[in-house]
């Protein structure tokens, strides 16, 4: 689909997201010829730069030189405007610049605003856009909002209400970059493009589901943000719940944005928020101490830059929850995420029930394992189905064999999530963006956990060493159900 002419205005364009994600995504889209001829990018931030130094900053981040065709093409369309986020005079200057570019490139008044700043300035920016009238135009106007989308239910509701004072819901694109990942989108195809899985995808055949988002990195330079947020807010209401809803949702009636989002919302509404005592039973929090990753010593969380040395912020969370509906009643969903775990892996595991009757005598077959479907989101993206097969020979021995597909076998580079999401926002497709009610439903589940943690003392932190799979209580959570974590 050809894109309409448009101006992309990026707030916070001097920052990390611009350099590491948005600029590379724009370059890749330009290389593939996916951007419209009548197109311009206007960066906006407080940092003192002009058009040339802004381009030089991006060039440095992208490690390209101006002679490359795609970059040369893009460079002619990149501009910079310096200003303060809540400052009316800056908004006035920005408006002038927007009109100038609109005229110069014949952009038909179409504007995509991208909030790539820390959330502290989201409110000022929305108010600034509204008060300056930049949210109105003779073309379409859309806004992309980065995560974190609020830090609890109330703040998310406030942000939604504020956004609606300036934009219609149909113009608001709340990013969750997990939805832009190729393997996450493939979940829809796997489930609804095949007949063999769907009949088994329910409480009759599925024993339980596990979702693991493990990172070996620590908090890096983001200690200030992370120490205020913690693993629960940072990963669960967004990335992990997105994976959960795609696994658990009913088939949508179409791939229209609202049809898909309606079904995802129903899953979130089927999860009963925990009562305070249920939080203690079903949710585990952890914080890493010093340890080793890949043979290298790494510091404790409390010794990371910008982290409070007495911090009680969690860097690990595991939980058990249930989706109360006809499809999933009684099937536990075990979720876990953490920093400084032994390796980086994101995967979803669907553990099927064991066979109802053991035909092969245990002494000859050993233990027959139940089937396991692993959806590897990253790295080594792929799909692995564990089936039981006969060991070649005269006996009747059985062993587990993987039937696997890895994306690397295709020899095609997997696009970065931001390429896809930026393109979708530019073409006006909201399917892979979160709707207001979805965000609020997610916070409705997470906020009681935050409240419980605020009113009960944190466990004795640190309670797991960097380079291990989290605190013992996370294993205990599954052991109580006679299960164990299954990371492949
Ligand atoms: P940065 O901290 O790099 O901030 C971006 C820019 O915003 C800065 O260059 C700065 O520009 C301005 N800024 C920073 N702090 C403040 C502040 N307190 N008040 C006003 N302006 C400020 O953030 P990122 O680029 O890493 O992230 C931007 C957004 O994207 C955030 O909401 C983040 O959560 C989200 N995000 C980022 C990811 C990443 O990989 N970086 C991944 C997923 C989401 P100047 O001083 O020039 O105005
Ligand atoms: C971000 C979180 O949203 O997602 C980070 O703020 C986390 O803490 C990151 O590291 C994980 O993303 P990915 O794509 O590397 O799995």
Please name which ligand lies nearest the alpha carbon of 234.
2
Query: Which of 74-78, 90-94, 441-445, 457-461 has the least mean pLDDT?
Result: 457-461
Please name which ligand lies nearest the alpha carbon of 221.
1
Reference 81, options 109, 47, 129; nearest CA is: 47
Task: Collect all residues with Cβ–Cβ distance below 8 Å to 183 and sequence separation of at least 6.
Answer: 375, 376, 377, 378, 381, 407, 414
Torsion of CA 299, 348, 475, 153, to 10 degrees: 80
- Highest average pLDDT, of 62-71, 217-226, 390-399, 470-479, comes from 470-479
Residue 290 has pLDDT above 70, yes or no: yes
CA distance 42 to 100: 11
What the block records as the tokens of 345 is 């892996």
Instruction: Say how many Å lie between the CA of residue 116 and the centre of ligand 2.
Output: 15
Ligand 1: lining residues by beta carbon, under 6 Å: 12, 14-17, 20-21, 45-47, 85, 116-121, 146-148, 177
Better pLDDT: 457 or 22: 22
Residue 18 has pLDDT above 90, yes or no: yes
Q: Which of 10, 11, 12, 422 to mutate to test the pocket of ligand 1 (most atoms within 8 A of CB)?
A: 12
Q: What is the mean pLDDT of residues 185-189?
A: 94
Instruction: Give the pairing of strands 6-11 and 39-45.
Output: parallel
Q: Report CA torsion sign: 96, 2, 258, 147.
A: negative
Residue 397 pLDDT? 85
Residue 386 pLDDT? 96
Instruction: Say how many Å lie between the CA of residue 133 and the centre of ligand 2.
Output: 34
- pLDDT band, residue 1 (cuts 50/70/90): low
- pLDDT band, residue 300 (cuts 50/70/90): very high
- pLDDT band, residue 395 (cuts 50/70/90): confident
Residue 57 pLDDT? 96
Residue 313 has pLDDT above 90, yes or no: yes
Cβ proximity of 111 and 139 under 8 Å: yes
Residue 266 pLDDT? 98
Q: What is the mean pLDDT of residues 316-327?
A: 98
Mean of the per-residue pLDDT values for the chain?
Answer: 95
CA distance 447 to 152: 6
- pLDDT band, residue 134 (cuts 50/70/90): very high
CA distance 206 to 199: 11
Task: Collect all residues with Cβ–Cβ distance below 8 Å to 155 and sequence separation of at least 6.
Answer: none
Residue 396 has pLDDT above 90, yes or no: no
Residue 15 has pLDDT above 70, yes or no: yes
- Annotated catalytic, 208? no
User: Could you report how far apart the first and last alpha carbons of the chain are, in Å?
Assistant: 39
Residue 41 pLDDT? 98
For residue range 421-438, list pLDDT tens digits in order.
999 999 999 999 999 999
Strand partners, 401: 387
Number of H helices, E strands in the chain: 16, 18
Annotated catalytic residue: which of 239, 296, 324, 451? Answer: 239
Residue with CA at minimum distance from ligand 2 atom 10:
215
HEC-encoded secondary structure of 28-78: HHHHCCCCCCCEEEEEEECCCCCHHHHHHHHHHHHCCCCCCHHHHHHHCCE
Cβ proximity of 44 and 6 under 8 Å: no
Note if the pTM is more than 0.75. yes
Share of the chain above pLDDT 90, in %: 90
Task: Collect all residues with Cβ–Cβ distance below 8 Å to 245 and sequence separation of at least 6.
Answer: 263, 264, 267, 268
- pLDDT band, residue 322 (cuts 50/70/90): very high
Q: Which atom of ligand 1 is nearest to the CA of 175?
A: 44
DSSP string across 256-302: SHHHHHHHHHHHHHTSPPPPHHHHHHHEEEE-EESEEETTEEE--GG
Residue 449 pLDDT? 98
Reference 283, options 249, 333, 238; nearest CA is: 333
Reference 235, options 304, 376, 335, 348; nearest CA is: 335
- pLDDT band, residue 70 (cuts 50/70/90): very high
Instruction: Say how many Å lie between the CA of residue 237 and the centre of ligand 1.
Output: 20
Residue 412 pLDDT? 85
For residue range 156-179, list pLDDT tens digits in order.
999 999 999 999 999 999 999 999
Residue with CA at minimum distance from ligand 1 atom 45:
46
For residue range 71-119, list pLDDT tens digits in order.
999 999 999 999 999 899 999 999 999 999 999 999 999 999 999 999 9
Residue 456 has pLDDT above 90, yes or no: yes
Q: What share of the chain is helix, strand, coil (3-state, %, to 5)?
A: 40, 20, 40
Residue 458 pLDDT? 85
Is the CB of residue 215 below 6 angstroms from any atom belonging to ligand 2? yes
What the block records as the tokens of 342 is 């032994």
Share of the chain above pLDDT 70, in %: 99
Q: Which atom of ligand 2 is nearest to the CA of 213?
A: 16
Instruction: Say how many Å lie between the CA of residue 300 and the centre of ligand 2.
Output: 19
Cβ proximity of 412 and 421 under 8 Å: no
For residue range 399-420, list pLDDT tens digits in order.
999 999 999 998 888 899 999 9
3-class DSSP state for residue 160?
helix
Instruction: Say how many Å lie between the CA of residue 361 and the centre of ligand 1.
Output: 61
For residue range 236-271, list pLDDT tens digits in order.
999 999 999 999 999 999 999 999 999 999 999 999
Task: Collect all residues with Cβ–Cβ distance below 8 Å to 396 and sequence separation of at least 6.
Answer: 360, 364, 365, 390
CA distance 296 to 91: 48
- pLDDT band, residue 67 (cuts 50/70/90): confident
Residue with CA at minimum distance from ligand 2 atom 14:
178
Please name which ligand lies nearest the alpha carbon of 114.
1
Cβ proximity of 241 and 295 under 8 Å: no
Residue 65 pLDDT? 76
The secondary element (H helix, E strand) that includes residue 315 is: none
């Amino acid at each position: 689909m050809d894109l309409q002419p448009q101006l992309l205005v990026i707030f916070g364009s001097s920052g990390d997201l611009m350099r590491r994600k948005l600029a590379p995504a724009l370059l890749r889209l330009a290389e593939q010829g996916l951007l419209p001829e009548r197109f311009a990018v206007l960066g906006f931030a407080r940092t003192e730069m002009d058009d040339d130094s802004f381009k030089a900053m991006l060039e440095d981040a992208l490690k390209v030189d101006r002679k490359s065709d795609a970059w040369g093409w893009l460079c002619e369309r990149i501009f910079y405007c310096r200003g303060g986020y809540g400052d009316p005079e800056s908004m006035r200057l920005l408006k002038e610049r927007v009109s100038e570019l609109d005229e110069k490139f014949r952009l038909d008044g179409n504007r995509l605003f991208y909030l790539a700043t820390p959330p502290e300035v989201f409110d000022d920016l929305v108010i600034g856009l509204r008060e300056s009238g930049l949210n109105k135009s003779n073309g379409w106007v859309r806004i992309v909002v980065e995560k974190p989308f609020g830090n609890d239910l109330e703040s998310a509701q406030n942000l939604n209400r504020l956004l609606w004072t300036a934009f219609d819901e149909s113009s608001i694109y709340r990013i969750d970059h997990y939805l832009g990942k190729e393997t996450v989108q493939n979940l829809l195809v796997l489930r609804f493009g095949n007949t063999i899985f769907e009949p088994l995808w329910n409480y009759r055949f599925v024993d339980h589901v596990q979702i693991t988002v493990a990172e070996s990195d620590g908090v890096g330079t983001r200690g200030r943000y992370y120490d205020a947020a913690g693993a629960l807010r940072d990963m669960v209401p967004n990335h992990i719940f997105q994976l959960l809803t795609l696994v658990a949702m009913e088939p949508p009636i179409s791939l229209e944005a609202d049809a898909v989002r309606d079904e995802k919302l129903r899953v979130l509404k089927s999860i009963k928020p925990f009562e305070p005592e249920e939080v203690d039973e079903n949710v585990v929090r952890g914080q890493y101490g010093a340890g080793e990753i890949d043979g290298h010593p790494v510091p404790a969380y409390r010794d990371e830059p910008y982290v409070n040395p007495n911090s009680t912020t969690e860097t690990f969370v595991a939980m058990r929850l249930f989706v109360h509906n006809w499809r999933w009643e009684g099937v536990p969903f075990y979720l876990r995420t953490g920093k400084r775990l032994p390796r980086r892996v994101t995967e979803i595991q669907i553990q099927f029930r064991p066979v109802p009757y053991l035909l092969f005598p245990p002494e000859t077959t050993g233990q027959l394992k139940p089937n396991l479907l692993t959806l590897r989101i990253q790295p080594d993206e792929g799909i692995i189905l564990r089936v039981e097969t006969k060991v070649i020979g005269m006996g009747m021995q059985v062993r587990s064999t993987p039937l696997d597909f890895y994306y690397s076998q295709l020899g095609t580079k997997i696009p970065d999530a931001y390429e896809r999401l930026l393109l979708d926002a530019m073409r006006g497709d909201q399917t892979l963006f979160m709707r207001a009610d979805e965000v609020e439903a997610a916070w409705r589940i997470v906020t009681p956990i935050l409240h419980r943690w605020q009113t009960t003392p944190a466990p004795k932190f640190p309670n797991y060493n960097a380079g291990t799979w989290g605190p013992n209580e996370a294993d205990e959570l599954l052991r109580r159900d006679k299960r164990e974590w299954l990371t492949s």
